[in-house]
Amino acid sequence: MAFVSYFEGFGIPIAEAMQAGCPVLCGDKTSLPEVGGDAALYCDPFDINSIAEGLNELDSNEILRSDLIKKGLERSKLFSWNFTAEKIWTQIERILTDKS
């Protein structure tokens, strides 16, 4: 999956692609590196050659693809709705307890 956006609040498509076992090429700007971590390949979204090189690398390097898929499946667990709901609920409980 190529997601070379240069203005994102959060890269939900990256997390979804990783969860689906799809290797990811994404832009190296905004929040995308924070979402992708070491489970994505990065490019400069303003540079067509950088994007093309990244796509070519994903297409031609089977070892890299396999590594990104493995890391992506693991990393995507950090962005599940259950994980997010648990974190939010923990914060709500903490806030309610602190005000009591």
b/e 69-80 (16+ beta carbons within 10 angstroms → b) = bebbeebbeebe
pLDDT of residue 43: 97
Spatial contact of 17 and 3, defined as CB atoms under 8 Å apart: yes
Domains of the chain plus CATH, in order, are 2-99 (3.40.50.2000)
Region for 25 from its dihedrals, namely left if φ exceeds 0, alpha if ψ lies in -120 to 50, beta otherwise: beta
Which phi and psi (to 5°) does residue 21 adopt? 80, 30
pLDDT of residue 9: 79
In tens, the pLDDT along 48-88 reads 999 999 999 999 999 999 999 999 999 999 887 787 788 88
Q: Which residue is listed with tokens 């709500």? A: 92
**Reported pTM:** 0.80
In tens, the pLDDT along 33-44 reads 999 999 999 999
Q: What angle do CA 7, 62, 1 make, to 5 degrees?
A: 25
pLDDT of residue 75: 96
Tokens of 14: 């990256």
pLDDT of residue 45: 95
